[in-house]
Amino acid sequence: MRAVTWCGKHDVQVERVPDPGIINDRDIVVRVTLTAICGSDLHLYDGYIPTMKKGDILGHEFMGEIVEVGSGVTNRAPGDRVVVPFNIACGRCWFCDQQLFSLCDNSNPNAEIPTKLYGHSPSGLFGYSHMLGGFAGGQAEYVRVPFGDVGSVKITSDVPDEKVLFLSDIFPTGYQAAENCGDIEGGIVAVWGCGPVGQFAIRSALLLGAATVYAIDHVPSRLAMARQGGAETINFDADDVYDTLMDLTGGRGPDACIDAVGLEAHGMSIDAVYDRVKAAAFMATDRIHVLREMIRCCRKGGTLSIPGVYGGYADKMPVGALFGKALTVRTGQTHTHRYMEPLLKRVEAGEIDPSFVITHRMALDDAPDAYANFAERDDGWIKVVMDPAQRSQEHPWEYAAIAENRE
């Protein structure tokens, strides 16, 4: 089959690789009908995530048709149409039992690595470094899904792929981020980052009753999409975020703040430049410009909700402000399995059409170009979906020759 592989910093390739099969009894194998590139894939592309190995297959947002089930799976069968959560969970450990699926005890074969770094290991993820399991991802024609009996949601209606693909990651992520704000009924929420997760966080916050959502970014197309979703926007290139938010809220600050940016925060303020220098010198790996700004802007006693993706260590963390303003922090990877059925119902009921976020529909073979453009955050590039069955206009299949030579 063809698959998108990580080949180093700023280097992804499309290669011919063996088809996946059943390895463990609770596995299923899915033929991928639609897959996407995530903002967090860009952290891999930009070389921010350690323990990647050349040849790793990328991709954690995918859906398709089951072609094979392991002997331990009784609730799924070949032919079933499924969306698969980006994290892998056994469904039966204490954490899964508490609905904390992104903290599953049994889904990271390399748990020793995060245990050394963090104290304990989170769940395994598809296509997201060996530290998190080294699982082959779903930017490919086929993918093997461990614990497929709990790691899939069945789609029985004829709702198109584009409307349900994002149940795999970004819709539940934005929704959990909004839920983590606490009770925002009638309140004010500020969202930093208008990438796809930010877009879903905006809409989810409004679905959950927020009176106003302020969305902060500097890419015009992202700000426009945020406005279409009901947010009022702040362009941080044009205006100081703190001053603007204080002005809009009469000096109090928003009730809850969502960091939908994560460890690669951009920005040209002094602290952001400092972060970049330190990151380049490997002395601090995560850039927390957004986190610092949120801590400053949030109202006293408010909540910081951080879906963001952070990986390592950060410098100059304003713990004094965190303490002095009595802020609540809620963070972590999405407990995707918890949200898929409820959000599927909302989609099928017509409450929300997640396909709004798609800006580019490409072939799997276009992945190298897609990554390059998306990584630049070029205006207009917000979400790329790829169809493995589609032939590329730009890149008619050229890799067969290389594969034949290798064999």
Partner 1 sequence: MNMTSDQLASRYAFDDSDMGIYGLEYPHARRRAESTNVGEVERVASGLVGGLLALSGVSLLARGHVLTGGAFSAAGALMAVRSATGHCPVYEHVGVSGAENELEISAPWTRTLELEKSVAIHRPASELYTFWRALDNLPQIMKYLERVEVIDDHRSRWTAKGPRDKPLSWEAVITSDVPNEHIAWTSTEDSQLATTGSVQFVPVREGDTLVRVALQYHPPAGALGALAANVFGRSPAKVLEKDLKRFKATMEAGEVITTEGQPRGACT
**Rounded distance, CA 171 to CA 85, Å?**
11
Q: Is residue 93 close enough to count as binding partner 1 by CB under 8 A?
A: yes
Among 57, 340, 343, 363, contact with partner 1 (rule: CB under 8 A) = 57
Q: Judged by CB under 8 A, which stretch of 34-42, 43-51, 199-207, 299-307 contacts partner 1?
A: 43-51
Q: Is 241 helix (H, G, I), strand (E, B) or coil?
A: helix
DSSP string, 323-348: HHTT-EEEE-S--HHHHHHHHHHHHH
Applying CB under 8 A, among 37, 113, 215, 294 the residue interacting with partner 1 is 113
Residue 21 in contact with partner 1, rule: CB under 8 A: yes
* Closer residue to partner 1, CB minimum distance, 41 or 217: 41
User: What is the Cα–Cα distance from 158 to 39, expressed in whole angstroms?
Assistant: 28
Q: How far is the CB of 121 from partner 1 (least distance, A)?
A: 10
127 binds partner 1 per the rule CB under 8 A: no
Question: Phi and psi for 189 in degrees, rounded to 5?
Answer: -120, 135
3-state secondary structure 45-87: HCCCCCCCCCCEECCCEEEEEEEEECCCCCCCCCCCEEEECCE
Binding piece for partner 1, criterion CB under 8 A, among 75-83, 110-118, 184-192, 360-368: 110-118
| Residue 231, phi then psi, degrees to nearest 5 | -90, 160
Choose which of 131, 219, 261, 314 interacts with partner 1 (CB under 8 A).
131
85 lines the binding site for partner 1 (CB under 8 A): no
Name which of 3 and 178 has its Cβ closer to partner 1: 3
Q: How far is the CB of 110 from partner 1 (least distance, A)?
A: 7
Answer yes or no whether residue 116 interacts with partner 1 by CB under 8 A: yes
- Residue 51 binding partner 1, by CB under 8 A: yes
Query: What are the backbone dihedrals phi and psi of residue 160, each rounded to the nearest 5 degrees, phi first?
Result: -65, 155
- Touching partner 1, residues 215-254 (CB under 8 A): none
Would you count residue 92 as binding partner 1 (CB under 8 A)? yes
Sheet strand arrangement including 12-16:
12-16, 2-6, 56-57
Q: What is the DSSP string of 129-196?
A: -GGGT-B--SSBSEEEETTTTTS-EE--S---HHHHGGGGTHHHHHHHHHHTT---TT-EEEEE--SH
Contact residues toward partner 1 (CB under 8 A) are 1, 3, 5, 7-8, 11, 13, 15, 17-21, 23-26, 47, 49-52, 54-57, 72, 88, 90-94, 97, 105-107, 109-113, 116-117, 124, 130-131, 133-136, 140, 144, 146-147, 281-283, 285, 312-313, 402, 406
